[in-house]
A and B are shown apart, each in its own frame.
Chain A
Amino acid sequence: MPAPPRLAFEGVTKAYGAMRAVDDVTLAIEPGQFVALVGQSGSGKSTLLKTVNRLIEPDAGRVTIDGADVSDGPAPALRRRIGYVFQNVGLFPHLTVAENIAMPQRIGGAPVDVAARLDQVELPRELASRSPAQLSGGQRQRVGLARALAGEAKLLLMDEPFGALDPLTRDALGRRVRGLHDQLGLTTLLVTHDMAEALLLADRVLVMDAGRIVADATPAELLAGRGGSIADALVAVPREQARALAAMDRE
């Protein structure tokens, strides 16, 4: 099994007009890390994520995977080495579940074992011949995850992957993603606005605000109040909720 890659941002900047969506971000994600990138809407976290697979080209700075600049070579070749899951899933509506999952093979990759991929994301194999319109939201996102991993990618990018799901589905899918990360030996970057999700799933949490990284800590450090004021405010919400729930439980 090939080793998980190292991902690095060096002075990455992206502006839309006068607004700097990403402002001179430099950081490295070590091989095998599960990193959550947290921030409010408009903080620039999705923009930063998309500079990795070049859905967005930065104005300045560069992104490297294992030291190689992602902007070297054609974008499609880069993207085939990266798993990408996003909130709206984007299953191809004219193809079956199996054809969606096997897409990495069709565009020039290695053969895909659709049944094994369905098992991986805990979907029944009978779904293979269904069309995406016949699936529930959670099932669709699982198919999206299976498609993202079918090309044997070692780097997984997830952009609000659970945003549109109900809490139960969300929780189950989050655990499955974390399980696959460990099992397959991935480097994972997860963008989310939900601090609780980040704290529960990630090894390391980055907090982004107005295009800059304002906190970079482990979940334990953040909970201990060592992430700075913006991070504290974000951590406070789930902490208060948890306390309130615990108090109700005791009554």
Chain B
Amino acid sequence: MEETNKQVPVTVLTGFLGAGKTTLLNRILTEQHGKKYAVIVNEFGEQGIDNDLVVDADEEVFEMNNGCICCTVRGDLIRILSGLMKRADKLDAIIVETTGLADPAPVAQTFFVDQDVADRTKLDAIVTVADAVHLSTQLTDHHEAEEQIAFADVVLLNKIDLVDESGLEVVKERIKKINPFAKIINTTKCGVSLNEILNLDAFSLKRVLDVEPDFLTSDHDHEHDDDVTSLSFVSDTPLDMEKFQDWFSKLLQTKGQDILRTKGILDFTGESDRYVFQGVHMLMDASPMGKWPEGKERSSRLVFIGRNLESMNLKEGFENCKSA
């Protein structure tokens, strides 16, 4: 338990070039004065950053040599975070700014894969800054834009003063279709209260318990197969643990590349504890999280964000896990 307090939170800022990442970064750094931040930026950053401790990174994506092709990590982050943890003064937080075209998965996976990084730091949240004017086009043209929305815990929908109300609704619907769990915050010039983007602990299993997705009833007819979408399932019938593990591990092994994020709370037959998990591609963090609250209905909830989800027979697979 004590270990958790020693972990320095890491916030990842993603978003396309020109969306306003650096504006947000500089706001965090000037408003949180008195706190010690390390900022890890790519050398092709947009503008100057006003902080004592700025580290240049190269966004080196490394494949792990463990036979899992989607298991990639940011080698530069491992090096820099391990170095920063040797500092004499304790950092309050670390902020990683990615380049516009970066896929957030290797950043997130770094915190699952590298034990030193996981021991001393924790991924706090992925915050994606999106340009309300250009996001729709970017989502159509670049799969990286979809991934940045898919991985986001918070989407800062910026420059809303430059679109009309109906235009704003269209963009928001588009975001929700990709990722119904991200909190969307409307801003102009990244004007957001910092406690809405910092110290969210969004990757902790505890936070998975808060997941209450809007179950969208949108039809999927007009989508291309490779669009990122999400699917959610609920069951009031308890699940069979063995069947579930068998189905789910096979699913991740074979489709892990297309499954970007998963979250779930599971009710297993014969178990008094709630089982909670969350994952990025094939990597998974899972644990029992205490007893089910008394007087509340037990139910299993499962959420997928990814590509080609329709082809994975997820509904059928999930139904088959129900205890007979």
**Are A and B associated in one complex?**
no
Q: CB within 8 Å of B: which residues of A?
A: none
B interface residues, Cβ below 8 angstroms from A: none
